[in-house]
Amino acid sequence: MTRIPCSSPQDRVLAARAMLDRLRGGPRAHILADMERLCDAYIHLANWNIEAYKRETSEFNGKSGSHWIRFVGWSTHRCF
């Protein structure tokens, strides 16, 4: 594989998109799909309004956050 130097941010974006497109068509595409959903869930969680929970000192109630867990939508495929 030949390395081509990236000279601009646009070049890096195009290279990343090409790499992702190649991975999506490969035998491990389900891993990439799971990782993309996990990243989306982390972004969703980071933007979640926590005002109602700021003064809580007890353990986090998973049922309160279950909507973001379902957001991930893990596939039945696993790496192992």
pLDDT tens-digit readout, 6-35: 578 898 899 899 999 999 999 989 999 988
pTM score, two decimals? Answer: 0.56
Q: Which residue has the tokens 């993309």?
A: 36
* Residue 16, both tokens: 């990343």
34-71 pLDDT tens trace: 888 888 888 888 888 888 778 888 776 655 555 555 55
